[in-house]
C-alpha cells in the first residue's frame, strides 16, 4: 500500500508541475545564414544593425563584428591567450564583453578600440542590456543586474519555472520587456519576467539541429548558445557553438511586455 501511495503522490506532483509550468512558444524560421564553425559562441548581439559575437576557449577567444545577413567580417579583436571570452552586449554607445573566470569585463567602441574594463566577482557567462542595467548570468539560477557606468551591483533575481529553479543560465538577450536565456546543454530558450524571475514561456530550438549536418569534429559542447534580437524587424537570430548556421526566427505570439525596465 505504501508504494502505491508513493506512486500516486509522485504522479500528482508531476501532473501539477506540468499544468503550472510555462508553455512553449511557436516560431517560424525565416532565414538561414552561414556561421563560422571555428566560433565557440558565448555571446551574440545586434548593435547598429551588425552582428556582434564573442567567442570563447583559451587561446581562441575574440570579439568580432559581421554584417548581419552576409556574414562579412567588419571588425575583429583577439583576446589575450589567458582570457576566455563570454557574453557580449551593446550598452548605448559601448560594447561590453565578459570573461569566464577572470572577473573582468572589457569595454570597446564600435570599431573595437579598447575603452577600459571593469572587475566583478564570480563567473561571467551571458549578458544583456535592458536600457538601464546590464544583466549577467553565472551558470546558476541567479541573474545579477549591474550599472553600466561603473559595474556597481544593483540587485539580482532567482529564475524559476513554477516552483523549480532554472539553472545553467547562459547567453542572454533582452527583448519585448523580457529576458531570453539559453540553458547550457539544453535546446530550449527560457523567456523570463525581469521583475519576478518567473519563466513565462519556453522556445524549443531542437528542430534547428535537424537543418544542418554535424561534422566529424562535432562534440557535446557544441550546444545551442547565442540569441540576438533585431528591434527593427522584431526577429531573433540564434546559433550555437561552432554551428555552421545562424537562424533568423520570428515568434508567432511574442510574450506581452510587462513594462519597461526600471531606471537605476
Q: What is the pLDDT of residues 43-74, one digit of tens each?
A: 999 999 999 999 999 999 999 999 998 999 99
Q: Is the pLDDT of residue 159 over 70?
A: yes
Q: Examine the pLDDT at 105 and tell me if it is beyond 50.
A: yes
pLDDT at 257 over 80: no
pLDDT mean over 5-31? 60
Please tell me the distance from the alpha carbon of residue 115 to that of residue 111, in angstroms, as a whole number. 11
Instruction: Specify whether the CB–CB gap between 11 and 234 falls below 8 A.
Output: no
- Give the per-residue pLDDT at 20: 44
What percentage of the chain carries pLDDT values higher than 70?
A: 88
Question: pLDDT category, 15, cuts 50, 70, 90?
Answer: very low
Residue 16, domain member (yes or no): no
pLDDT at 238 over 80: yes
Q: Does residue 261 belong to any structural domain of this protein?
A: no
Does the residue 2 lie in any domain? no
**Can you spell out the DSSP letters for 65-113?**
EEETTT--EEEEEEPPTT--EEEEEEETTEEEEEESSS-EEEEE-TT--
User: What pLDDT is stored for residue 99 in this prediction?
Assistant: 98
Cα 101 vs. chain centroid, distance in angstroms?
18
Q: What is the pLDDT of residue 234?
A: 95
Exposed / middle / buried, residue 91 (Cβ in 10 Å: 0-12, 13-18, 19+):
buried
Read off the pLDDT of each residue in 20-33 and give the average, rounded to a whole number.
89
pTM for the predicted model, two decimal places: 0.88
Q: Is residue 208 part of a domain?
A: yes
Residue-wise pLDDT for 110-156, tens only, equals 999 999 999 999 999 999 999 999 999 999 999 999 999 899 999 99
What's 65's domain CATH number?
2.120.10.30
Q: How far apart are CA 116 and CA 99, in angstroms?
A: 14
pLDDT at residue 218, rounded to an integer: 77
35, 239 Cβ separation under 8 angstroms: yes
User: 130 forms bridges with which residues in the sheet?
Assistant: none
What's the domain range around 170? 21-251
Q: pLDDT category, 42, cuts 50, 70, 90?
A: very high
Q: Is there a domain that residue 51 lies in?
A: yes
Judged on CB neighbours under 10 Å (0-12, 13-18, 19+), 42 is buried
**3-class secondary-structure state, position 207:** helix
Distance CA 195, CA 146 (A): 15
Residue 2: pLDDT band by 50, 70, 90 thresholds?
A: very low
Question: What are 157's three cell numbers?
Answer: 533575481
Tally of domains in the chain = 1
pLDDT for 202-225, tens place per residue?
A: 999 999 989 888 776 778 889 999
| Cell numbers describing residue 213 | 549536418
Sequence-distant (≥ 6) Cβ neighbours of residue 93 within 8 angstroms = 109, 110
| Within a domain: 260 | no
Please report whether residue 6 resides in a domain: no
How confident is the model over 88-106, as a mean pLDDT?
Answer: 96
Does 240 reside within a domain?
A: yes
253 — pLDDT class (breaks 50, 70, 90) = confident
- SS3 of 261, please? coil
Return the C-alpha torsion angle 14, 207, 24, 234, nearest 10. 160
Amino acid at each position: 500500500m505504501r508504494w502505491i501511495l508513493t506512486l500516486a503522490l509522485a504522479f500528482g506532483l508531476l501532473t501539477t508541475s506540468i499544468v503550472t509550468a510555462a508553455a512553449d512558444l511557436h516560431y517560424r524560421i525565416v532565414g538561414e545564414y552561414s556561421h563560422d564553425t571555428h566560433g565557440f559562441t558565448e555571446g551574440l548581439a545586434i548593435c547598429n544593425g551588425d552582428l556582434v559575437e564573442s567567442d570563447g576557449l583559451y587561446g581562441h577567444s575574440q570579439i568580432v563584428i559581421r554584417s548581419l545577413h552576409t556574414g562579412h567580417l567588419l571588425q575583429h579583436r583577439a583576446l589575450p591567450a589567458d582570457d576566455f571570452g563570454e557574453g557580449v552586449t551593446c550598452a548605448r554607445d559601448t560594447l561590453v564583453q565578459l570573461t569566464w573566470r577572470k572577473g573582468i569585463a572589457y569595454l570597446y567602441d564600435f570599431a573595437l578600440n579598447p575603452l577600459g574594463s571593469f572587475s566583478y566577482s564570480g563567473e561571467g557567462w551571458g549578458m544583456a542590456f535592458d536600457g538601464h542595467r546590464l544583466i549577467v548570468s553565472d551558470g546558476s539560477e541567479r541573474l545579477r543586474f549591474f550599472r553600466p557606468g561603473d559595474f556597481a551591483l544593483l540587485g539580482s533575481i532567482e529564475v524559476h519555472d513554477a516552483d523549480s529553479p532554472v539553472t545553467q543560465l547562459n547567453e542572454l538577450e533582452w527583448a519585448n520587456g523580457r529576458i531570453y536565456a539559453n540553458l547550457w546543454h539544453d535546446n530550449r530558450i527560457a523567456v523570463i519576467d525581469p521583475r519576478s524571475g518567473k519563466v513565462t514561456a519556453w522556445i524549443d530550438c531542437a528542430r534547428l539541429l535537424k537543418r544542418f549536418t554535424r561534422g566529424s569534429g562535432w562534440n557535446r559542447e557544441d550546444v545551442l548558445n547565442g540569441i540576438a534580437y533585431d528591434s527593427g524587424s522584431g526577429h531573433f537570430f540564434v546559433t550555437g557553438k561552432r554551428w555552421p548556421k545562424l537562424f533568423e526566427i520570428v515568434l508567432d505570439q511574442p510574450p506581452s511586455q510587462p513594462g519597461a525596465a526600471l531606471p537605476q
